[in-house]
A and B are shown apart, each in its own frame.
Chain A
Amino acid sequence: MSKIVALVDGSIYAESVCDHASWVAGRTGAGIELLHVLNHRHAVGAPKNLSGNIALGARSSLLKDLSERDAETAKVSQKNGRAILDAAKARLEAAGVGKVTARLRIGDIVEEAAECETEAEMTVIGKRGDAADFATLDLGSNLERVVRSSRKPVIVASRAFTPVKRLLIAFDGGSSSRKAVDYVASHPLFDGLSCRLLTAGSGTPEIRDRLSSAKLALEAAGHEVEADIVQGPADLLIASAVETDDIDLLVMGAFGHSRFRRLIIGSTTAEMIRLCKIPVMLFH
């Protein structure tokens, strides 16, 4: 594996993102690229001047004024960003990761993550960022945007990392969950881990077929596999299976529905990430 991208910020999730990334790196020998994105909201602040007049040289004095104000805040936030990256880098190096690079960018996290990701194999992001409140269990505002625009597998890190021994693949027979099975079967990251394949619903013959071939594929790759179909709503089933079955990592397809449909019926993906207190690996 070449490289994985770890998105870090100033929240407590940054440490856990590092731990998840170093778990991947440790098992696969991948390098880690740390990315922190500064979101400069230029020249936004309390409006100081509502006088509504413009005098001689209004343009140049305003430009000077605004850029001076920005320069100050930008310096501070850049310093912060460096500190976050340095801390993350130190943590990774202490964990024995060999190739760590850090990248500090200015702009929108989605665009920067997408650019970083083109040369990487997967992305690691925390469930919440600086701005989100853990108590309400709301997901970070950037999480869904990053996951939606990502074309690679994404690991959504939980608050604390526990070594992964057993994983659950939420299998709905769709293309992204089959892709997830192929990935797990073929990837050295998952060598020797035991898996559980879980399908929610009544299970049409077609899905049963697909489930058993998925099971075969995983077994052929040397995994210990259980596969079952259980009646009920997917999110609750999976959440309870995660709790009762000592699952350390949930693997599933990501955001299958359009944004519009999501507005009306909600998203299983977001719900799963929210309900399960374990990391979630998402496939497109």
Chain B
Amino acid sequence: MSFHAYRDQWIGNVRGDILAGLVVALALIPEAIAFSIIAGVDPKIGLYASFSIAVVVAITGGRPGMISAATAATAVLMVTLVKEHGLQYLLAATVLAGLLQIVAGFLRLGYVMRFVSRSVMTGFVNALAILIFMAQLPELIGVPSLTYVMVAAGLAIIYLFPYLTKAVPSPLICIIILTAVAIGFGLDVRTVGDMGELPSTLPVFLIPDIPLNLDTLTIILPYSAAVAAVGLLESLMTASIVDEFTDTTSDKNRECIGQGLANTATGFIGGMAGCAMIGQSIINVKSGGRGRLSCFCAGVFLLFMIVVLGDWVKQIPMAALVAIMIMVSIGTFSWSSIRNLKDHPRSSSVVMIATVACVVLTHNLAIGVLVGVLLSGIFFAWKIAQIFRVTSSLSDDGTHRTYRVEGQIFFASADAFSAAFDFREALEKVTIDISHAHIWDISSVAALDMIVLKFRRDGAEVEIIGLNEASETIVDKLAIHDKPGALERLLGH
């Protein structure tokens, strides 16, 4: 990317970016606090992380206008690590996850995203929304009924206040009013201060206090790998959503490296891993944020608010934050996907639902996406396997049959391919014309071999026409597609 383009991504939309950054910072606070608590660490850890990730990704990322910070998706993966080994291991795992993401970026794994179909993406987004909502449940179950009143009031403010004015972020009004009411009436509700320590200083550089040996690595590696995978998935998906909004393209591999650098840096200042956030990115674009500056500002404002206004932030009732997170969850969920269930092909719906179900069961978005991708691959193979046809004609004297094979022959269609031949017919000569078929893999080669062998055993002479054209598509020879005219040959015969 040229210097000019990069500079433009910073200063191309200053006013819009700064305002949007402010609005987004407000939506970052609840998530950072809420998911620190989910992961079992002080809110400080999530808030430092949100600051550092937002600032580093703003500088190094590949998708301007996207918001990254400490997130639900990565926090839920680290719960057991914190529980069993403590905070220092979390920090080390964060650093390692970042390094893995950097490697993924250099290996250009961003291209792997092409295997994630639209249905899997929808499933991912829905699963994420459900995770965010479920994370609010501890604040909603077994609490005094006053909390419900406050959450309901908070939601009402968030959704109704914009009818009054759209110039002030309604989540801010929600926080201010609920906090004022709680303090004014001396209500006994849980506040942010009850959740743990808030940062009172700027973050400092520190090296995670862990023994550097193989045991440590085996402890943190599985967590780091999961965090790295989920972080990249959510980031790249969010990037393509922002691509759609802004009708621009983004550099996916650069984004991988940016996310990696952000997580690595964050581990060293005592923050937990994070990634891009779908809900907050939507809020950003909606508020007019387009450039790198908005994510940067969001991070800086966040830290400023927490460090300078910490005494006030402590008194915010949890109900206000819960209301904001419910709003984020509702806004993230793709409601049209429910309506589409009955119109979309059943295989797509199955992929989407399977993705959601796996995530909700395992709390691991990576597993859900993996299942979704595998399922969509299988469905695709199943569909393509039906695109083949065998026709035949018998010579006048009844001793020579010509089979004409058309279509795609690969592992999923090899059996049906074999079954299309009549081996009971006594023939002197069999011609198999496969010049209009594509042989994609070893299964289909083996099937063809078996067919030839069977006819020979029955005393027929077998001739195969067009083997070269048909086998051009075998995986090892796929390089042929680079040559001019390859596609025409592939489609033409």
Chain A residues within CB distance 8 Å of chain B: 40-60, 62-63, 66-67, 70, 108, 110, 145, 259
User: Which residues of A have CB within 8 Å of B289?
Assistant: 47
Nearest chain B residue, comparing its CB with the CB of A66: B245
Beyond A50-B287, A57-B336, whether A43 also contacts B3 by CB under 8 A is no
A43, A45, A57, A145 pick with most chain B CB within 10 angstroms: A43
Beyond A42-B246, A43-B246, A44-B13, whether A51 also contacts B162 by CB under 8 A is yes
* Structural contact, B283 and A43, CB atoms closer than 8 A: no
Residue B16 contacts which of A47, A57, A62 (CB distance < 8 angstroms)? A47
User: Which residues of A have CB within 8 Å of B169?
Assistant: 50-53
User: Which residues of A have CB within 8 Å of B247?
Assistant: 40, 42-43, 66-67, 70
* Those of B238-271 within 8 Å (CB) of chain A: 241, 244-248
Q: List 30 A-B contacts (CB under 8 A).
A: A42-B248, A43-B247, A43-B285, A44-B13, A48-B166, A49-B166, A50-B19, A50-B169, A51-B166, A52-B23, A52-B24, A52-B27, A52-B171, A52-B283, A53-B162, A53-B170, A53-B283, A53-B331, A54-B279, A54-B330, A57-B335, A57-B336, A58-B286, A59-B331, A62-B282, A62-B286, A110-B4, A145-B2, A145-B4, A259-B3
* Structural contact, A54 and B245, CB atoms closer than 8 A: no
User: Which residues of B have CB within 8 Å of A60?
Assistant: 336
* Structural contact, A52 and B170, CB atoms closer than 8 A: yes
B141 within 8 A of A: no
Closest Cβ of chain B: how far from A207's Cβ, in Å?
33
User: Which residues of B have CB within 8 Å of A55?
Assistant: 159, 327, 330-331
Residue B287 contacts which of A49, A66, A145 (CB distance < 8 angstroms)? A49
Q: Whole-angstrom distance between the alpha carbons of A43 and B288 in the complex?
A: 8
Closest Cβ of chain B: how far from A57's Cβ, in Å?
5
Q: Whole-angstrom distance between the alpha carbons of A259 and B169 in the complex?
A: 42
Closest Cβ of chain A: how far from B224's Cβ, in Å?
30
A42, A59, A66, A145 pick with most chain B CB within 10 angstroms: A59
B158 within 8 A of A: yes
Q: Whole-angstrom distance between the alpha carbons of A51 and B168 in the complex?
A: 6
User: Which residues of A have CB within 8 Å of B3?
Assistant: 259
* Structural contact, B246 and A54, CB atoms closer than 8 A: no
Task: Kindly supply a per-residue 1/0 record for chain B positions 331-344, scoring 1 wherever the CB is within 8 Å of any chain A CB and 0 otherwise.
Answer: 11011100000000
A43, A53, A259 pick with most chain B CB within 10 angstroms: A53
B75 within 8 A of A: no
Query: 10 tightest A-B contacts by CB?
Result: A47-B288, A54-B331, A52-B169, A51-B162, A58-B331, A52-B23, A42-B247, A51-B166, A49-B166, A53-B158
B5 within 8 A of A: yes
Q: Whole-angstrom distance between the alpha carbons of A54 and B286 in the complex?
A: 9
B161 within 8 A of A: yes
User: Which residues of A have CB within 8 Å of B37?
Assistant: none
User: Which residues of B have CB within 8 Å of A108?
Assistant: 5
Chain B residues within CB distance 8 Å of chain A: 2-5, 12-13, 16, 19-20, 23-24, 26-27, 158-159, 161-162, 166-172, 241, 244-248, 279, 282-283, 285-290, 327-328, 330-332, 334-336
Closest Cβ of chain B: how far from A65's Cβ, in Å?
8
Q: Whole-angstrom distance between the alpha carbons of A130 and B328 in the complex?
A: 43
Q: Whole-angstrom distance between the alpha carbons of A140 and B286 in the complex?
A: 33
Nearest chain A residue, comparing its CB with the CB of B5: A108
User: Which residues of A have CB within 8 Å of B330?
Assistant: 54-56
Residue A52 contacts which of B172, B244, B248 (CB distance < 8 angstroms)? B172
User: Which residues of A have CB within 8 Å of B246?
Assistant: 42-43, 66
User: Which residues of B have CB within 8 Å of A54?
Assistant: 279, 282-283, 286, 327-328, 330-332
Q: Whole-angstrom distance between the alpha carbons of A42 and B4 in the complex?
A: 18
Closest Cβ of chain A: how far from B405's Cβ, in Å?
44
Q: Whole-angstrom distance between the alpha carbons of A242 and B417 in the complex?
A: 81
User: Which residues of B have CB within 8 Å of A59?
Assistant: 241, 282, 331, 334
Nearest chain A residue, comparing its CB with the CB of B328: A54
User: Which residues of B have CB within 8 Å of A70?
Assistant: 247
Q: Whole-angstrom distance between the alpha carbons of A43 and B13 in the complex?
A: 11
Closest Cβ of chain B: how far from A1's Cβ, in Å?
29
* Structural contact, A53 and B171, CB atoms closer than 8 A: yes
* Structural contact, B26 and A66, CB atoms closer than 8 A: no
Closest Cβ of chain A: how far from B305's Cβ, in Å?
14
Q: Whole-angstrom distance between the alpha carbons of A67 and B247 in the complex?
A: 8
Q: Whole-angstrom distance between the alpha carbons of A7 and B158 in the complex?
A: 50
Q: Whole-angstrom distance between the alpha carbons of A145 and B6 in the complex?
A: 14
Q: Whole-angstrom distance between the alpha carbons of A40 and B249 in the complex?
A: 13
User: Which residues of B have CB within 8 Å of A43?
Assistant: 245-247, 285, 290
Q: Whole-angstrom distance between the alpha carbons of A45 and B172 in the complex?
A: 23
Q: Whole-angstrom distance between the alpha carbons of A266 and B168 in the complex?
A: 45
* Structural contact, B159 and A46, CB atoms closer than 8 A: no
User: Which residues of B have CB within 8 Å of A50?
Assistant: 19-20, 23, 166-169, 287-288
Residue A63 contacts which of B158, B244, B335 (CB distance < 8 angstroms)? B244
Nearest chain B residue, comparing its CB with the CB of A42: B247
Nearest chain A residue, comparing its CB with the CB of B155: A53
Closest Cβ of chain B: how far from A24's Cβ, in Å?
28
Q: Whole-angstrom distance between the alpha carbons of A66 and B335 in the complex?
A: 19
Q: Whole-angstrom distance between the alpha carbons of A281 and B16 in the complex?
A: 40
User: Which residues of B have CB within 8 Å of A42?
Assistant: 246-248
User: Which residues of B have CB within 8 Å of A66?
Assistant: 245-247, 285
Q: Whole-angstrom distance between the alpha carbons of A62 and B244 in the complex?
A: 10
Residue B12 contacts which of A40, A44, A56, A58 (CB distance < 8 angstroms)? A44
Q: What 14 additional pairs, Cβ within 8 angstroms, besides A44-B13, A47-B16, A66-B245?
A: A42-B247, A47-B20, A47-B287, A49-B286, A50-B168, A51-B161, A52-B24, A53-B159, A53-B171, A55-B327, A55-B331, A59-B334, A62-B285, A62-B286
Closest Cβ of chain A: how far from B118's Cβ, in Å?
13
Nearest chain A residue, comparing its CB with the CB of B290: A44
* Structural contact, B336 and A52, CB atoms closer than 8 A: no
Q: Whole-angstrom distance between the alpha carbons of A65 and B428 in the complex?
A: 70
Q: Whole-angstrom distance between the alpha carbons of A62 and B167 in the complex?
A: 17
Beyond A47-B287, A51-B161, A54-B282, whether A41 also contacts B12 by CB under 8 A is yes
User: Which residues of A have CB within 8 Å of B171?
Assistant: 52-53
User: Which residues of A have CB within 8 Å of B16?
Assistant: 44, 46-47
User: Which residues of B have CB within 8 Å of A63?
Assistant: 244-245
Q: Whole-angstrom distance between the alpha carbons of A58 and B334 in the complex?
A: 8
A47, A51, A54 pick with most chain B CB within 10 angstroms: A51
